[in-house]
Amino acid sequence: MATEKTVFDAWLAGAELPYDLLIPLLHEFGGADAVFSAWKKREEHPLFKAVPPACRKRMNETASEESLRGYRDLAQTHGIQSVTILEEAFPHCLRDLPDPPGVLFFRGNPQVLKAEKPAAMVGSRSASWNGLKAAERIAEGLSRAGVTVISGLALGIDAASHKGCLKGGSPTVAVMGGGLDKVYPPQNEGLMNDILKAGGLLISEYAPGVRPSSYHFPYRNRIISGLADAVILMEAKVRSGSMTTVGHALRQGKEVFAYPGDPVSPLSEANRLLLREGARYFTEAKDVLEDMNWLDNLSYVGQNIECSPKTVPDDPSERAVYLALEKGNLGFDELIAATGLTSSALMSTLTVMQIRKTVEILPGKRYQLVRK
């Protein structure tokens, strides 16, 4: 039974063995269940002797009937399945990693991993408003062209990328930093359910019940880049988790894309660094598709490719605001100076333009034209 297998996989993964011990163990015994029964019988095996004491303790503690039942319950209630590196179903791209996960847990549709165009999108949790919007827009464009967007279900860029991908109609993959029974961060519970509903996949190398820890995330990032053919950096600082993903991608020989972002913002300093060092430059989903040779598919709807024709409003005050904002985003006082409107007239005009979705407001009370 699938769940029985998952229970033993969870037991083995829960020990958090180093990969260079976990994988030989699996090969030696031919599966987690066999490892389990041998461990239970206290067989003297040279590989068992190499198990570090902390892992040994965990393996003993979780070998009880009760904790196995706990794994079974978690797997059943959340529909968690598992696959080991020995099985054919294990993603090929991950086999070739220098430090592959021995066991993978997943929820949702595993067929998604066979997608032809997997792209990872990464970036900061506290990104700028424009960064978030760009991530969503580009993910949507990629998704329309049939690209599977892979990300980490964190707040900020990750969430925006998943959302954009869902909008575009393709399934999306979230690689988590803890057990798949936990929603982390909790704010993204709705998004997680949406991903599953849309035929997407949640994936993790951590056993059910494992809490997400800070050291899990940078390590997990090798799976994000490993699953993808292209890694797209939306907005990050130089010292950040996103840059560890980029580092993994470079070691794994993946294509790295960097979004230009705001040329002076410290939030996109890593983007500038990468572009300078030769990362692929892109501003639209189309650019990524072209560079990756993914444009063969005609299903791509070119909504995001062409800039929409300029539509200067007819109303005199709206026109004045539009022309002022064409040069860049402005604060309220600057808009008054540029348009000559009174405060109350400008407020009315801005509301109308917000409703028409020609103007949007950024944090810090700055206004800008909506990019179509």
Catalog residues that contact another protein under the rule CB under 8 A. 125-126, 155-156, 185, 187, 266-267, 331-333, 336, 343-352, 354-355, 357, 361-366
> Which residue in the block uniquely carries the two structure tokens 């997407």?
200
Q: How far is the CB of 178 from another protein (least distance, A)?
A: 16
Judged by beta carbon, residue 58 or residue 372, the one nearer another protein is 372
Q: How far is the CB of 365 from another protein (least distance, A)?
A: 4
Q: How far is the CB of 307 from another protein (least distance, A)?
A: 23
Judged by beta carbon, residue 178 or residue 226, the one nearer another protein is 178
Q: How far is the CB of 331 from another protein (least distance, A)?
A: 5
Q: How far is the CB of 298 from another protein (least distance, A)?
A: 34
Q: How far apart are CA 332 and CA 91, in angstroms?
A: 53
Judged by beta carbon, residue 295 or residue 345, the one nearer another protein is 345
Contact 142, 234 (CB under 8 A): no
Give me the sheet containing 280-281, strands edge to edge.
81-84, 103-108, 201-204, 172-175, 148-151, 118-122, 230-233, 255-258, 280-281
| Other Cβ atoms within 10 Å of 352 Cβ, number | 16
Judged by beta carbon, residue 146 or residue 156, the one nearer another protein is 156
Judged by beta carbon, residue 199 or residue 328, the one nearer another protein is 328
Q: How far is the CB of 79 from another protein (least distance, A)?
A: 28
Judged by beta carbon, residue 81 or residue 268, the one nearer another protein is 268
Whether residue 185 is preceded by a cis peptide bond, meaning omega within 30 degrees of 0, is yes
For residue 207, what is the enclosing H or E element?
Answer: none
Q: How far apart are CA 370 and CA 357, in angstroms?
A: 7
Q: Is the dihedral of CA 1, 76, 37, 220 positive or negative?
A: positive
Backbone angles phi, psi at 86, to 5 degrees: -75, -20
Q: What DSSP assignment string belongs to 281-309? A: E-SSHHHHHHHTT-TT-TT--GGGTSPPP
**CA angle 78-83-87, nearest 5°?**
155
